[in-house]
């Protein structure tokens, strides 16, 4: 390449570059000479809390500021199984120990002898030898990936990858032959077909080689029909017994659940529908959950992940064979470990600068104890309503309930703030032209929902909007309808807290004295009915907090009791037993002023309680009940100082498995973090717990604002430290120079003397 010379003469040194991509930072310098730096992130308004009914707090006291999800490892979610066990990745796949060579050889020889003996008895010694040769040829082909010449004893069979046995008109005998081949020669297919003379039946054995040849011949000849496929049942491990599902722990970092499983399916060359799970987990987080896969051998999955194809971003382990698959809702909750960074108390002395005075620490202590004992308002979080303020999920649900199909379509195809340029351009083109064909031509393939709607318009005609809407998967329609139920519930909950507080149950409240404890995955009054295809369901609509129902919300509709005035005075019921209904045609409303709040919110949307018994059956909602106040389980907290914003403050499962250094507190650190651990039941929002604790809004724009402030402050602090270091180094250099000069002068004087 001609690169041979150096400009300077000094000796060099060795080192590693680009060990991490962040070791090489490049910033452009334009003609003006100013170094280009990212100063601010885009901040999209999105949905605000008051719009969706989130207005009140349960506990009194002042809050504090802090940044959540500054790093995805600041938000760790671990699924809690129906048995109450917190799911953690405990073991990575390891290759099984090889059997002793002598034992393996002896077993193989004995198996071959048994196969030859039984097959010889059934089909004769010559055909048995040919069948075994066919099987061995298939194994060699699989192991080497290329064809080899056949042995002379079974040249015809090995040439074609097939073996045709003699005529056999005894059905019972044929059945025994089929069973023996399946037992002793796994992977060899058998089929009964008419004999060549047309007077009876015979059995044909076909190896994987023969199946490929048949498929190629049929394709070349233009023949259609069912393709030959290898029988993978022979791959199913003996230790699985009759269990047909592999269950494993899926660990992921900063990945969506369905995206991770789809990528695993692609690498394994299997259908993504093989996988099922109890609930989706947050994308920007580190999560652990159980997943089941139908008919997937553990060795196949382990073989893939021993190579760590996705690094630490996705890992699997803890394999187990089970008789049944996981279904949505088959969990008792989620365990959260959350780091709130850059904690500040703006009105507390030096804490305005990020310090932690005694008063500031006491405030966190008081707020945490209050939350642990009194709980928080069980609002549906902003995630429930999507990120598109111009086409919120609850507004789509209301339009569907009103049978306002055109409005629902317009909202579904409305441009979103912050979406990609090509996505927005396609949506605007349709809004201006109403031309489904032309819009489909420029619509990006990744926009599955929009494509389904536009293809529906093309298929059914522009006037048949309900026909186009029928193309939306049922589970996604339910999500829109449930979002509207959540919208009504939030407003009713705020009115209940505003009028009566959260100290006690009052007359007219509804309470559940004995609620259901066993989730029923078959019912889904507040859940997705089945795992939706990733290509259709927008990722923003699927989170760990709203993808599965709580026991009270699953359509069981337990008997509710109306609190009497006498019971209010005696304090018979606690406010934690109070429930509010998700509106539907089989629920009852509170027997106090809160009923008016339901009617008022529905009227504003052009609806009434009778609207939930819809003429379109799939839009008919029976309703359910949801706790007004939720108290977290196993709630723990601690304050921790730190200096480096890039280091994790709490260990992940992968860090423990890899014996990575665990995060330690830096007592001299200039930043303060609050670390929380707690467990919540399904369909309960951790963001609403954090809102109650900090008394800060959960709106994304506020979080982005605080993150930007923290980054800017960190940069300023780093620059200041660098400047101080440079100054100190300069002073040291000057001092060293002076000392050196003095020393030289003294040496010269001594020499002269």
Closest of 130, 182, 127, 122 to residue 151, by C-alpha: 130
pLDDT tier, 188 (very low <50, low <70, confident <90, very high otherwise): confident
* Residue 14 CB neighbour total at 10 angstroms: 4
pLDDT of the residue at 514 = 64
- Name the helix (H) or strand (E) containing 485: helix 474-500
When pLDDT is cut at 50, 70 and 90, the band that residue 34 belongs to is: confident
Closest CA to 399 of 388, 412, 387, 418: 412
Give the N- to C-terminal CA distance of the chain in Å, as an integer.
61
Rounded CA-CA distance 160/155 in Å is 9
Q: Tell me: pLDDT of 641 over 60.
A: yes
Give the tens place of pLDDT for each residue, 251-305: 999 998 888 999 999 999 998 889 999 988 888 899 999 999 998 999 899 999 9
As a whole number of angstroms, the distance between CA 439 and CA 86 comes to 47
Instruction: Tell me how far apart the alpha carbons of residues 515 and 577 are, in angstroms, rounded to a whole number.
Output: 9
Position 363 pLDDT exceeds 60? yes
Q: Provide mean pLDDT across the span 136-158.
A: 51
Structure pTM?
0.71
C-alpha distances in Å from residue 576, one per residue of 421, 502, 526, 563: 47, 9, 21, 13
Q: For 598, list phi and psi in degrees, rounded to 5.
A: -60, -50
Buried b (16+ CB within 10 A) or exposed e, 664-692: eeeeeeebbbbbbbbbbbbbbbbbbbbbb
Residues 272, 277, 283, 284, CA torsion sign: negative
pLDDT grade, residue 17 (50/70/90)?
confident
Predicted confidence at residue 676, as pLDDT, reads 95
Sort residue 250 into left (φ over 0), alpha (ψ -120 to 50) or beta: beta
Number of Cα atoms under 13 Å in the Cβ half of residue 271:
6
**Confidence at 73, pLDDT banded by 50, 70, 90:** very high
DSSP bridge pairs for 627 = 579
Q: Is the pLDDT of residue 530 over 80?
A: no
Which of 315-329, 375-389, 579-593, 732-746 has the lowest average pLDDT?
Answer: 732-746
By the 10 Å C-beta count (0-12 exposed, 13-18 middle, 19+ buried), 8 is classed as: exposed
β-pair type (75-80, 286-294): parallel
> Residue 156 in 3-state DSSP?
helix
Contacts of 258 (CB under 8 A, 6+ apart): 272, 280, 531, 534, 542
Domains, the chain: 50-77+334-375+631-709 (no CATH), 85-97+240-331 (3.30.70.3160), 124-230 (no CATH), 386-412+473-494+501-575+586-618 (no CATH)
Write out the two tokens for 77. 């979610």
Give yes or no for residue 412 having a pLDDT over 80: yes
Give the single-character DSSP code of 205.
E
């Amino acid at each position: 390449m001609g690169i041979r010379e150096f400009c300077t003469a000094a000796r060099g040194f060795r080192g590693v570059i680009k060990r991490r991509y962040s070791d090489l930072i490049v910033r452009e310098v334009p003609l003006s000479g100013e170094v280009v730096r990212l100063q601010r992130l885009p901040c999209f308004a999105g949905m605000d809390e008051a719009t969706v009914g989130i207005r009140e707090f349960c506990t009194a006291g002042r809050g504090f500021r802090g940044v959540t999800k500054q790093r995805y490892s600041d938000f760790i979610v671990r699924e809690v199984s129906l048995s109450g066990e917190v799911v953690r990745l405990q073991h990575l796949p390891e290759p099984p120990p090889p059997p002793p060579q002598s034992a393996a050889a002896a077993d193989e020889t004995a198996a071959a002898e048994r196969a030859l003996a039984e097959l010889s008895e059934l089909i004769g010694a010559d055909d048995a030898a040919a069948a075994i040769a066919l099987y061995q040829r298939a194994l060699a082909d699989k192991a080497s990936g290329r064809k080899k010449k056949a042995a002379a004893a079974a040249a015809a069979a090995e040439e074609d990858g097939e073996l045709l046995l003699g005529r056999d008109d005894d059905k019972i005998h044929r059945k025994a032959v089929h069973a023996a081949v399946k037992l002793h020669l796994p992977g060899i297919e058998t089929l009964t077909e008419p004999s060549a003379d047309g007077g009876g039946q015979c059995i044909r054995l076909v190896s994987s080689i023969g199946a490929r040849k048949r498929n190629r011949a049929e394709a070349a000849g233009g023949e259609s029909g069912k393709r030959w496929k290898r029988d993978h049942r022979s791959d199913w491990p003996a230790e699985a017994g009759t269990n047909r599902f592999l269950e494993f722990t899926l660990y992921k970092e900063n990945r969506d659940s369905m995206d991770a499983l789809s990528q695993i399916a692609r690498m394994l060359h299997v259908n993504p529908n093989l996988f099922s799970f109890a609930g989706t987990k947050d994308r920007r987080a580190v999560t652990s959950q159980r997943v089941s896969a139908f008919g997937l051998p553990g060795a196949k999955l382990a073989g893939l992940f021993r190579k760590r194809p996705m690094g630490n971003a996705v890992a699997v382990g803890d394999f187990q064979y089970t008789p049944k698959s996981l279904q949505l809702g088959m969990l008792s909750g989620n365990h959260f470990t959350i780091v709130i960074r850059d904690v500040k108390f703006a009105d507390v002395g030096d804490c305005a600068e990020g310090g932690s005075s005694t008063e500031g620490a006491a405030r966190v202590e008081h707020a945490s104890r209050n939350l642990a004992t009194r709980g928080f308002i069980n609002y549906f979080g902003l995630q429930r309503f999507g990120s598109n303020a111009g086409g919120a999920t609850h507004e789509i649900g209301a339009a569907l309930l009103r049978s306002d199909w055109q409005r629902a379509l317009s909202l579904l195809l409305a441009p979103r703030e912050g979406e990609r340029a090509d996505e927005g351009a396609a949506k605007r083109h349709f809004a201006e032209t109403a031309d489904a064909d032309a819009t489909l031509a420029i619509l990006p393939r990744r926009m599955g929902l929009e494509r389904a709607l536009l293809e529906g318009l093309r298929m059914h005609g522009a006037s048949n909007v309900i026909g186009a809407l029928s193309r939306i998967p049922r589970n996604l329609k339910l999500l829109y309808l449930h979002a509207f139920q959540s919208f009504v519930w939030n407003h009713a909950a705020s009115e209940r807290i505003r009028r009566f507080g959260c100290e006690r149950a009052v007359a007219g409240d509804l309470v559940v004295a004995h609620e259901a404890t066993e989730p029923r995955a078959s019912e889904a009054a507040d859940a997705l009915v089945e795992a939706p295809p990733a290509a259709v369901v927008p990722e923003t609509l699927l989170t760990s907090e709203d993808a599965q129902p709580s026991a009270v919300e699953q359509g069981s509709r337990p008997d509710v009791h109306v609190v009497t005035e006498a019971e209010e005075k005696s304090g018979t019921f606690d406010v934690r037993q109070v429930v509010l209904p998700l509106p539907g045609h089989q629920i009852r409303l509170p027997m106090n002023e809160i009923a008016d709040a339901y009617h008022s919110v529905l009227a504003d949307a052009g609806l009434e309680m009778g609207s939930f018994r819809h003429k379109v059956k799939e839009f008919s909602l029976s309703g359910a009940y949801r706790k007004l106040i939720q108290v977290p389980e196993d709630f723990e907290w601690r304050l921790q100082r730190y200096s480096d914003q890039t280091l994790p403050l709490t260990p992940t499962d992968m860090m423990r498995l890899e014996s990575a250094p665990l995060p330690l507190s830096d007592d001299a650190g200039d930043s303060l973090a609050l670390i929380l651990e707690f467990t919540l039941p399904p369909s309960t929002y951790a963001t609403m717990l954090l809102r109650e604790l900090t008394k800060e809004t959960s709106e994304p724009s506020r979080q982005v604002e605080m993150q930007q402030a923290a980054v800017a402050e960190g940069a300023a602090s780093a620059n200041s430290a660098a400047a101080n270091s440079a100054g100190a180094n300069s002073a040291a250099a000057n001092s060293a120079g002076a000392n050196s000069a003095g020393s030289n002068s003294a040496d010269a004087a001594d020499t002269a003397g």
